[in-house]
Structure 1
Protein backbone atom coordinates (compact mmCIF):
# COMPACT_ATOMS: atom_id res chain seq x y z
CA UNK A 1 0.00 0.00 0.00
CA UNK A 2 2.80 2.41 0.89
CA UNK A 3 4.59 1.56 -2.34
CA UNK A 4 1.50 2.37 -4.44
CA UNK A 5 1.10 5.69 -2.63
CA UNK A 6 4.78 6.52 -3.15
CA UNK A 7 4.61 5.68 -6.86
CA UNK A 8 1.44 7.77 -7.30
CA UNK A 9 3.06 10.69 -5.49
CA UNK A 10 6.17 10.52 -7.69
CA UNK A 11 4.11 10.33 -10.91
CA UNK A 12 1.97 13.32 -9.89
CA UNK A 13 5.07 15.33 -8.98
CA UNK A 14 6.82 14.64 -12.28
CA UNK A 15 3.77 15.07 -14.54
CA UNK A 16 3.83 17.92 -17.01
CA UNK A 17 0.73 19.91 -17.82
CA UNK A 18 -0.65 19.75 -14.29
CA UNK A 19 -1.47 23.47 -14.45
CA UNK A 20 -5.14 24.28 -14.35
CA UNK A 21 -6.50 27.49 -15.76
CA UNK A 22 -6.96 30.20 -13.17
CA UNK A 23 -6.27 33.73 -11.97
CA UNK A 24 -2.71 34.87 -11.51
CA UNK A 25 -1.69 36.93 -8.52
CA UNK A 26 -1.61 40.71 -8.97
CA UNK A 27 1.41 41.37 -11.19
CA UNK A 28 3.48 44.43 -11.99
CA UNK A 29 3.69 45.08 -15.74
CA UNK A 30 7.36 45.67 -16.59
CA UNK A 31 7.07 45.93 -20.40
CA UNK A 32 4.30 46.13 -22.99
CA UNK A 33 4.56 45.90 -26.76
CA UNK A 34 3.59 44.25 -30.04
CA UNK A 35 5.49 42.52 -32.81
CA UNK A 36 5.83 44.39 -36.10
CA UNK A 37 5.66 41.28 -38.33
CA UNK A 38 2.44 39.77 -36.92
CA UNK A 39 -0.47 40.58 -34.60
CA UNK A 40 1.16 39.29 -31.40
CA UNK A 41 1.17 41.63 -28.41
CA UNK A 42 2.73 40.95 -25.02
CA UNK A 43 3.35 42.15 -21.50
CA UNK A 44 6.25 41.17 -19.28
CA UNK A 45 5.29 40.60 -15.65
CA UNK A 46 7.19 40.40 -12.37
CA UNK A 47 6.18 36.73 -11.98
CA UNK A 48 5.91 33.58 -14.07
CA UNK A 49 2.47 32.40 -15.18
CA UNK A 50 1.13 29.62 -17.38
CA UNK A 51 1.22 25.87 -17.76
CA UNK A 52 4.49 23.97 -17.37
CA UNK A 53 4.90 23.65 -21.14
CA UNK A 54 5.08 27.42 -21.65
CA UNK A 55 5.46 29.04 -18.23
CA UNK A 56 6.99 32.51 -18.60
CA UNK A 57 7.01 36.01 -17.19
CA UNK A 58 5.68 37.15 -20.60
CA UNK A 59 2.05 36.60 -21.57
CA UNK A 60 0.81 36.93 -25.19
CA UNK A 61 -2.36 37.64 -27.14
CA UNK A 62 -3.34 38.67 -30.68
CA UNK A 63 -4.32 42.29 -31.26
CA UNK A 64 -6.55 40.95 -34.08
CA UNK A 65 -8.59 38.89 -31.61
CA UNK A 66 -11.94 40.22 -30.44
CA UNK A 67 -11.06 43.02 -27.97
CA UNK A 68 -7.35 42.57 -28.74
CA UNK A 69 -6.81 46.29 -29.44
CA UNK A 70 -8.76 47.22 -26.29
CA UNK A 71 -6.61 44.82 -24.29
CA UNK A 72 -3.48 46.51 -25.61
CA UNK A 73 -4.85 49.96 -24.72
CA UNK A 74 -5.93 49.00 -21.20
CA UNK A 75 -2.69 47.19 -20.36
CA UNK A 76 -0.60 50.05 -21.78
CA UNK A 77 -2.57 52.51 -19.61
CA UNK A 78 -2.03 50.25 -16.58
CA UNK A 79 1.70 50.12 -17.34
CA UNK A 80 2.04 53.91 -17.49
CA UNK A 81 -0.16 54.41 -14.40
CA UNK A 82 1.88 51.88 -12.40
CA UNK A 83 -1.17 49.68 -11.75
CA UNK A 84 -1.02 45.94 -11.25
CA UNK A 85 -3.02 43.45 -13.28
CA UNK A 86 -4.19 39.88 -12.77
CA UNK A 87 -4.83 37.48 -15.63
CA UNK A 88 -7.07 34.46 -16.08
CA UNK A 89 -4.31 32.32 -17.53
CA UNK A 90 -5.44 29.51 -19.82
CA UNK A 91 -4.11 25.97 -19.49
CA UNK A 92 -2.98 26.09 -23.14
CA UNK A 93 -0.13 28.03 -24.71
CA UNK A 94 -0.33 30.93 -27.16
CA UNK A 95 -0.26 29.94 -30.85
CA UNK A 96 3.56 29.95 -30.94
CA UNK A 97 3.64 27.29 -28.18
CA UNK A 98 6.31 29.18 -26.23
CA UNK A 99 4.32 31.65 -24.12
CA UNK A 100 1.13 31.48 -22.04
CA UNK A 101 -2.04 33.34 -22.96
CA UNK A 102 -5.15 34.47 -21.11
CA UNK A 103 -8.93 34.63 -21.38
CA UNK A 104 -9.48 37.89 -19.49
CA UNK A 105 -7.71 40.24 -17.10
CA UNK A 106 -8.30 42.85 -14.40
CA UNK A 107 -6.43 46.09 -13.79
CA UNK A 108 -6.24 46.63 -10.04
CA UNK A 109 -6.10 49.89 -8.13
CA UNK A 110 -3.25 49.00 -5.80
Structure 2
Protein backbone atom coordinates (compact mmCIF):
# COMPACT_ATOMS: atom_id res chain seq x y z
CA UNK A 1 0.00 0.00 0.00
CA UNK A 2 1.52 3.36 -1.00
CA UNK A 3 0.88 6.64 0.87
CA UNK A 4 -1.70 7.39 -1.80
CA UNK A 5 -3.52 4.23 -0.72
CA UNK A 6 -3.96 5.37 2.88
CA UNK A 7 -7.32 4.33 4.28
CA UNK A 8 -9.13 4.51 7.59
CA UNK A 9 -10.78 1.28 8.72
CA UNK A 10 -12.58 0.09 11.81
CA UNK A 11 -11.02 -2.69 13.85
CA UNK A 12 -11.68 -4.53 17.08
CA UNK A 13 -8.99 -4.57 19.75
CA UNK A 14 -7.97 -8.18 20.41
CA UNK A 15 -5.34 -7.41 23.03
CA UNK A 16 -3.90 -4.37 24.79
CA UNK A 17 -1.03 -4.11 27.20
CA UNK A 18 1.06 -1.37 28.79
CA UNK A 19 4.24 -0.46 26.93
CA UNK A 20 6.69 0.67 29.64
CA UNK A 21 9.72 0.30 27.35
CA UNK A 22 8.92 3.66 25.73
CA UNK A 23 9.75 7.12 27.03
CA UNK A 24 6.02 7.75 27.38
CA UNK A 25 4.50 5.56 30.10
CA UNK A 26 0.99 6.12 28.71
CA UNK A 27 1.80 4.10 25.56
CA UNK A 28 -0.19 0.93 24.93
CA UNK A 29 0.54 -2.00 22.58
CA UNK A 30 -2.55 -3.06 20.64
CA UNK A 31 -3.40 -6.00 18.42
CA UNK A 32 -6.34 -5.03 16.22
CA UNK A 33 -8.58 -7.34 14.14
CA UNK A 34 -9.53 -5.71 10.83
CA UNK A 35 -11.69 -8.61 9.65
CA UNK A 36 -9.38 -9.81 6.88
CA UNK A 37 -6.12 -8.94 8.65
CA UNK A 38 -4.65 -8.29 12.07
CA UNK A 39 -2.33 -5.36 12.75
CA UNK A 40 -0.24 -4.06 15.62
CA UNK A 41 -0.40 -0.49 16.83
CA UNK A 42 1.28 1.52 19.57
CA UNK A 43 -0.89 4.37 20.85
CA UNK A 44 -0.82 6.93 23.65
CA UNK A 45 -4.03 5.79 25.28
CA UNK A 46 -3.03 5.30 28.90
CA UNK A 47 -4.17 8.75 29.98
CA UNK A 48 -7.86 8.04 29.36
CA UNK A 49 -8.11 4.30 28.70
CA UNK A 50 -7.24 1.29 30.88
CA UNK A 51 -5.48 -1.31 28.68
CA UNK A 52 -7.37 -4.11 30.49
CA UNK A 53 -10.69 -2.60 29.35
CA UNK A 54 -9.73 -2.15 25.68
CA UNK A 55 -10.13 -5.73 24.28
CA UNK A 56 -13.43 -5.86 22.40
CA UNK A 57 -13.44 -2.10 21.81
CA UNK A 58 -13.81 -0.94 18.24
CA UNK A 59 -11.33 1.71 17.04
CA UNK A 60 -10.49 3.57 13.85
CA UNK A 61 -7.07 2.94 12.30
CA UNK A 62 -5.19 4.68 9.52
CA UNK A 63 -3.45 2.14 7.30
CA UNK A 64 -0.92 2.59 4.53
CA UNK A 65 1.31 5.05 6.39
CA UNK A 66 4.13 2.55 6.73
CA UNK A 67 5.50 0.67 9.71
CA UNK A 68 7.14 2.49 12.61
CA UNK A 69 9.51 0.79 15.06
CA UNK A 70 8.80 2.01 18.58
CA UNK A 71 11.17 0.55 21.18
CA UNK A 72 11.45 -2.69 19.17
CA UNK A 73 7.70 -2.96 18.50
CA UNK A 74 6.51 -2.75 14.89
CA UNK A 75 3.49 -0.44 14.80
CA UNK A 76 1.65 -1.05 11.50
CA UNK A 77 -1.37 1.20 11.97
CA UNK A 78 -2.12 4.58 13.48
CA UNK A 79 -4.94 4.23 16.01
CA UNK A 80 -6.92 7.46 15.81
CA UNK A 81 -7.63 9.72 18.75
CA UNK A 82 -8.46 13.34 19.41
CA UNK A 83 -7.35 15.60 22.28
CA UNK A 84 -9.50 15.42 25.39
CA UNK A 85 -10.06 18.36 27.75
CA UNK A 86 -6.56 17.82 29.14
CA UNK A 87 -4.99 17.63 25.66
CA UNK A 88 -4.30 13.89 25.89
CA UNK A 89 -5.62 11.39 23.30
CA UNK A 90 -9.13 9.97 23.53
CA UNK A 91 -10.06 7.16 21.12
CA UNK A 92 -12.14 7.84 18.03
CA UNK A 93 -14.59 4.96 17.74
CA UNK A 94 -18.00 4.14 16.30
CA UNK A 95 -21.06 4.60 18.51
CA UNK A 96 -22.51 1.27 17.40
CA UNK A 97 -20.81 -2.05 16.69
CA UNK A 98 -19.96 -2.34 13.01
CA UNK A 99 -18.24 -5.10 11.01
CA UNK A 100 -14.46 -5.13 11.48
CA UNK A 101 -12.61 -3.89 8.43
CA UNK A 102 -15.23 -1.37 7.32
CA UNK A 103 -13.64 1.60 5.58
CA UNK A 104 -14.39 5.19 6.53
CA UNK A 105 -16.00 7.10 3.67
TM-score by length of 1: 0.49
Residue of structure 2 aligned with 1:84, choices 51, 58, 61: 58
TM-score by length of 2: 0.50
Structure 2 residue runs of 5 or longer lacking an equivalent are 82-91, 97-105
Greater length-normalized contact order (CA 8 Å, ≥ 6 residues apart): 2
2:26 aligned with 1:43: no
Q: CA deviation at 1:21?
A: 2.0
The residue number in structure 1 matching 2:68 is 94
Native 8 Å contact 1:30 1:44 kept in 2: yes
Structure with larger Rg? 1
Q: CA deviation at 1:93?
A: 1.5
Q: CA deviation at 1:23?
A: 0.2
Native 8 Å contact 1:48 1:58 kept in 2: no
Native 8 Å contact 1:31 1:43 kept in 2: yes
The number of aligned residues is 79
Q: Which has the higher helix share?
A: 1
The residue number in structure 2 matching 1:21 is 6
2:95 aligned with 1:109: yes
The residue number in structure 1 matching 2:85 is none
Moved over 6 A (4+): none
RMSD (Å) for aligned C-alpha atoms: 3.5
Aligned-partner Cα distance in 2 for 1:34–1:77: 9
